Chains A and B, each alone.
Chain A
Amino acid sequence: MDKLQRRREYHIVVLGAGGVGKSCLTAQFVQNVWIESYDPTIEDSYRKQIEVDGRQCILEILDTAGTEQFTAMRELYMKSGQGFLLVFSITSLTSLTELHELRDQIVRIKDDPLVPLVIVGNKSDLEEDRAVSRSRAFQVSQSWNAPYYETSARARRNVDESFVDLCKQIIRKDMATRQVREMEKLDRGDRHRPGRGGRKRKKKFLDGGNSRCNIL
């Protein structure tokens, strides 16, 4: 556990097609409030300290917005991440399908199908333009076994929640990795993915059962 105490800096990578507002999501999360003037060129531009489960941890967020066309660079970005925020726009179905490729790549690079992951459907304020139904998103959520949040970066809805959820997953994963040998003995069927319990989920959606969908 002392190792856990030491290691409190987590790397989160935000991914998604261009135009889904993921940079807006990141900017919102990092800034807390819209500040006077945001300078993204400094070292601390994407660092944020938050409290998760009573522990202070620093999140370093890598959002490569603007470089989506450098497809070859993606792996380099992904390698640095411990948790991933996969963002699509609820107004664009293609933005959701594009996540599949990203997710495959992450799983391959991390060599872990259960890598900490959160699916984010952004632009929930544009309900009238919705192109991705919630059930559709929920299907993906279930198939990837990853929680789904509907956010509005513009209205700052669910922004912190999605990052915090991811952070929790990373922490659990971190602990799990350290206790891997004990874990190995567990019955795989009963294994409950850490951090996916949705304890803090505020609203449940549809027939979500152990809902992984978080829609405000």
Chain B
Amino acid sequence: MESLPRSSACVAPLQIVKGTPEVMTPSSRTPNFSSTMTNGVYLPQRTGQITPPLTPHDSEVTFERHADFQTYLRASYAYHPECHQNLTTVTLPLNGGDVILVHSVHSNGWADGTLLVSGARGWLPTNYCEGYESEPIRNLMKALTVFWDLIKGSSIGGLVAFRNSDYVRGLVAGVRCLLEKTNCLSRESNLIRSHDVLFKNRRALLGDLSAFVKVAGALKTLLTKSGGDLGVELDLEEMLSKAFKMVNRAVKFLDIWEEHMQSVDASVTIDHAKSMRVPPTPPADHTQFALSRNNQIASNAHNRPTSSENAKKEQNGVRSRYGRSSQTSVRPRSSNSFGHFHGLANRESASHRTSCTVSPMSQNLASEKLSALHNGFITSLAYFLGLHIQSRSSAEIRLTTEQSIVSCRDMLRLVEEIWERDRRRSFALQEAHDAMYDKIADLADAAKDIYRSEQFGEDSDTLVYAATACICAAGECVTESQLVVERIGDFEVESFGLGILDLEVARPAENPIQVSEDQRDVTTNGRLIPHEPLREPPPTPPKLPDHDRPVTSAMSATASSRNYSFNAVLVESTDNLDRSSEQKLLPPLPPFASCLLSYGDQFSSPPSSNCSVGDTQNNNDGRTREDSLGVSSSFDSSTYVGSTRDSEPSVVSQSSTRATSPDATLVTSLERPSLYKHETGIQSVLFEDGDEDEVKLLETTFAHELVYNREGQISGGTLPALIERLTTHDSTPDATFVSTFYLTFRLFATPTAFAQALIDRFQYVGESPHIAGPVRLRVYNVFKGWLESHWRNDCDSLALELIIPFAKRQLQIVLPTAGKRLATLASKVTAADGPLVPRLISSIGKTNTSIALYVSPDAPLPAPVITKSQLAALKNWKHGGASVSILDFDPLELARQFTIKESQIFCSILPEELLATEWMKKSGSMAVNVRAMSRLSTDLTNLVTDYILQLEDPKKRAIVIKQWVKIAKRFLELANYDSLFAVICSLESSTILRLKRTWEMVSSKTKATLEHLKSVVDISKNYVVLRQRLQNHVPPCLPFVGTYLTDLTFVDIGNQTTRQLPSEGPEESRSVINFDKHMKTAKIISELQRFQIPYRFTEIPELQTWMQDQLVRVRTSDESSMQNHYRRSLILEPRDQVQCKPSPMESQASFSSTKDKLDRDKFEFFGLGWPYHSKHHSRDKTVTRPTTPS
């Protein structure tokens, strides 16, 4: 935050209308007024009216507005401006305890801020507030600020940041940190157990977090699928409101905790005094404020406000909601309005732990379960469809089909349960049930056929049709079930193996249906509304249902008794299904993780089990490599960029994520013939707020140790945080990120540290079973990619001491085949000379195959331009005959042959040679190819000079110059900029340029060509001409390597190796890896690699031999040193003894002036023997002490 100006701080305070709080229409937001939204009303004009600051009657205002910019303020007093109903005011009404995100503070004491409780933005008097900062919650607040900046600071184009979940993880980490610091991380902690209110608020907080995470997940999916569309705006607003809500809750949680801690310290009175402090100009409802504080402490329903609806709106949202939920919770439960139970259930679900205690019912209501299962099923089907549209590999289809079937089975099981209770009257349900069974069977058949036939894409219509039919059938089924449930009353059911829901022993059926007057709010306004009762904890303390440890035996009974014969449906996977369903009985393993485990067992099974996930994974790997190779090799020339995608297999994990967290957007976007459509939308995802969710939400994460740049890309982080990013469970790691990692990790971590960090990741993710499967698979894949394609024997071998035991023990237990494979790789890697698998050098890189196939191999090579007599002359020369000259050959062919030669070296440059200025090492540099490039380039320059200076006759020299200009022109045509540079360097050198008489013989046409060539290799403005040319250049091309080397040097020098982790608190800021630097390095290297494509010309061995001979001659001859060349130049064309004006050429090249004529004469005098250290000759008289540095 310190380093970057917060975008929120940059937003000028705007005039905001206080409108009716019922409506929020974020979709009407326009980009121009992205910050003016308050309760959905926009005021385009900026009237600049600022209410003058109020003089606080209280003299003890603690907030020092100029001392330090407080990002968060907390209202100390309520503030309700009298004109608050006036539409032209922009002031925010405050209630004591409100937390405000501050965007800017005006010097008059008013601040532009957003109320977390309502999301409303406006002016507020800072003297009514004090800075809000508390150590436990600091990380969370920081994350919220980052999140706000991300949303408000980014245009639509900046939505990229939302495609990964880092920002979500930041908030999650914030909550985790809060709970950690308050010792409430574990539900089992003593504090939580003993303190009901804390317990309740903790659950509510987690519920809010869960809601937020889900919306974020939905948005991510939407973005990934749609590629950014304007509807996303809405989701952003929703996410923001969810985040606000969550933070608000966290603040409340912290308040309670602090008060509790103080009371524990037996100093209760202090706090009471504080909360009872009365502001000097007491606004109307300050008493309620005090009341509310008491409310929070006492947490009893009897303090329920009885104010009117209108008054409620003005109240602090927390309080009003609080009050409302109290009302709800004490209402007598009646079972009459079944039509509403769904919304109620949703509402309950967010805080069901607390509501449990009020009502004897649990969350295992049939209706709730039905809805959850339905959601799960729809989600898996939706994902199935989504996958299918992208025509993924058959292995994935297989996997998703299985998931769909599993969720379908669970759902049908529940439907049967319901049906059992009222058999006689539930014929329709039975029909629906059977229809659904048929449909899922059809789907399975279709999937099976496709899988067997391997003819993917052709039968896709069948598949899509079957899936759609399933959705319809499921909808019917749910509708019927709900009707039945409505008729017989809701009841509790035993849990099924979905793993999403809490597992409980069945209880006697009851009819504890709740009806809430807030029903409408729930169902119609899914959004943040001040008095929205959703997800509020009722005040009475909850009792813990005794289902922390699921009763496995009971479950097994259920599972076996409801054994659907899907064996018939999906014959090959019978084993799998059974296994996985067994596995699912193990409590901590959510379905997918357990699937992985069970499939993992089959890594070692015979090849016939070709449907196991083990194979899926292998397929993925195969597919990926195929993709990458295929992309750059067999398809077409435009697919280079394509290989940036999918370079890491991720499909398995994606599906797993989807399976465990229903995707709200997907669900809502699907048409379902359900009466309860509006209720099963976003809110219903709140269902799964069980124990596992808690684990899920509070997964160990290092996300708070990452730094982002303005574009939302990762610019730094600790090694564990970066590794975590590399192995995320929920998104494919960015290909650039991955390739940067492989390419540069040795610059910021030793191979051993890298391996250890990966192993750590493998271990600690075990604490979060729901993501452990995919993450561990990724860890394995990172190891595999490293060993296969990025291994460097010279420095990585130490890491084997970690990798081999890891593969043989830890990995093999979880993923046996992977473990074996890694162990094999580890044993092979030391023996191998090069990479085991041809490497994908970079994201935009290439493979060896791609080189050969880039240009269609069928295309005929251009015919060499060389005559028989020329070849004969070369042969003659080889056998000691007459020498040949460049004048004897066609410029085009010479250019081609030289380009072939240079291209061979260029294409051999390895990325390692370009790291950490390796090529600059004085000794032992491994950058052999880079050095060969510079040597060749230098040789060419000297060869050009040499050729020109060989000839005594200026006219002949002019002819040679003309030939070289022609060759240079061909170099340009061939896009061989490196050689072009070399030729121009010679022609522009002082040695050649000073040959005035020679240049006089050069035709103006040649000179014009030369001028053009010079303009191409213009080095001014940081090679801007050249850079522009290269930007969209299609290979083959030989760029000037020097620019890359300079760029790499400056990236290395100009960017520090570490950067500071921003921290808002006073604590010391941490240094983390400056990953941005490595990303930049990798980007430059990948730019170079983009051109590592060989030219397709016929090599003429005779010509090559001759050229090589010429280059060697120049390199080895003493005559070719720069000094000797210059000397030779002076011999050929001695300076005019009386030269009043420099030649036009020279005047271009120098700053010389006639005043230095005497000096010049001296130079010329010494010209012949231009000495190495000649300053004592060239000094003017004022120089006193000539020195001869040794």
Contacts and interface: CB of A to CB of B under 8 A. Distances in A.
Interface stretch (B305-313, B617-625, B1049-1057): B1049-1057
A162 interface: no
B1181 A183 contact: no
A31 B1182 contact: no
B1047 interface: yes
Interface stretch (B323-331, B761-769, B884-892, B1172-1180): B1172-1180
Contacts of B1170: 108
A97 interface: yes
Given A75-B989, A80-B1019, A111-B1146, A100 B1156 contact: no
Contacts of A140: 1187, 1189
A133 interface: no
A69 interface: yes
A23 B1019 contact: no
A142 B1189 CA distance: 12
Interface string A111-154: 11111000000000000000000000001101111000000000
Interface in B736-755: none
A77 B1173 CA distance: 22
B1186 interface: yes
Contacts, number: 208
A113 B1178 contact: yes
Contacts of A109: 990, 1149-1150
B394 interface: no
Given A37-B709, A111-B1150, A111-B1152, A27 B1053 contact: yes
Please tell me the size bucket of the interface on A: 35 or more
Contacts of A189: 1181-1182
B942 interface: yes
Given A69-B935, A79-B988, A180-B1154, A97 B1189 contact: yes
Contacts of A73: 937, 941, 981, 985, 1042
Nearest to B1158: A188
B1164 to A, nearest CB: 10
Contacts of B1024: 43
A29 to B, nearest CB: 11
A40 interface: yes
Contacts of A108: 990, 1126, 1163, 1170
A113 B1142 contact: no
Given A66-B1042, A101-B1172, A37 B1152 contact: no
Contacts of A19: 920, 922
Nearest to B715: A37
Given A66-B1046, A113-B1156, A142-B1187, A75 B1051 contact: no
Interface string A167-191: 0000001001100100110001101
Contacts of A188: 1158, 1180-1182
**B931, B1055, B1077, B1176 — which one has the most chain A CB atoms within 10 A of its CB?**
B1055
A37 B1053 contact: no
A5 interface: no
A66 B1172 contact: no
B1141 to A, nearest CB: 12
A42 B1022 contact: yes
A180 B1140 CA distance: 13
Given A23-B1050, A38-B1054, A114-B1180, A96 B1189 contact: yes
Contact of A72 (B986, B1020, B1159): B986
Contacts of B453: none
Contacts of B917: 18, 66
A65 B1142 contact: no
A103 B1174 CA distance: 11
A129 B1046 CA distance: 27
A43 B1053 contact: no
A100 B1186 CA distance: 13
A145 B715 contact: no
A65 B1049 CA distance: 7
A100 B49 CA distance: 69
B1155 A180 contact: yes
Given A64-B1046, A114-B1180, A69 B934 contact: yes
B383 interface: no
Contacts of A11: 1020
B1041 to A, nearest CB: 8
A67 B1173 contact: no
Nearest to A65: B1049
Contacts of B83: none
Contacts of A66: 917, 919-920, 1042, 1045-1050
A40 B1047 contact: yes
Contacts of A53: none
Given A40-B1050, A45-B1050, A105 B1122 contact: yes
Contacts of A144: 1175
B1042 A64 contact: yes
A82 B1151 contact: yes
A76 B1022 contact: no
Contacts of B935: 69
Given A60-B1020, A101-B1172, A191-B1182, A65 B1053 contact: yes
Given A79-B1149, A112-B1152, A189-B1182, A40 B986 contact: no
Contact of B1187 (A27, A77, A101, A143): A143
A46 B1176 CA distance: 35
Contacts of A51: none
Interface in B869-896: none
A65 B922 CA distance: 15
B4 interface: yes
Nearest to B938: A72
B1004 interface: no
Interface majority SS (helix, strand, loop, mixed), chain B? helix
Interface string A78-113: 011010000000000000110011011101111111
Given A39-B1080, A114-B1156, A46 B1022 contact: yes
Nearest to B935: A69
Contacts of B1049: 23, 65-66
A112 B1187 contact: no
Contacts of A145: 1179, 1182-1183
A114 to B, nearest CB: 7
A30 B715 CA distance: 22
A173 B941 contact: no
A43 to B, nearest CB: 5
Interface string B809-829: 000000000000000000000
A87 to B, nearest CB: 13
A76 B1160 contact: no
A146 to B, nearest CB: 11
B32 interface: no
B1180 A68 contact: no
A63 B1054 CA distance: 13
A4 to B, nearest CB: 15
Nearest to A136: B1189
26 contacts: A18-B922, A26-B1050, A27-B1050, A36-B715, A40-B1054, A43-B1024, A60-B1021, A63-B1050, A66-B919, A69-B934, A70-B938, A73-B937, A76-B981, A100-B1173, A100-B1189, A108-B1170, A110-B1151, A111-B1142, A111-B1149, A113-B1175, A142-B1183, A145-B1182, A177-B1153, A180-B1155, A188-B1158, A191-B1180
Interface of B: 3-4, 709, 715, 917, 919-920, 922, 931, 934-935, 937-938, 941-942, 981-982, 984-986, 988-990, 1019-1022, 1024, 1027, 1042, 1045-1051, 1053-1056, 1076-1077, 1080, 1084, 1122, 1126, 1142, 1146, 1149-1156, 1158-1160, 1163, 1170, 1172-1176, 1178-1187, 1189-1190
Query: Which 3 A-B residue pairings sit nearest by Cβ, starting from the closest?
Result: A72-B941, A40-B1050, A38-B1054
Interface of A: 11, 18-19, 23-24, 26-27, 31, 34, 36-47, 60, 62-73, 75-77, 79-80, 82, 96-97, 100-101, 103-105, 107-115, 139-140, 142-145, 173, 176-177, 180, 183-184, 188-189, 191
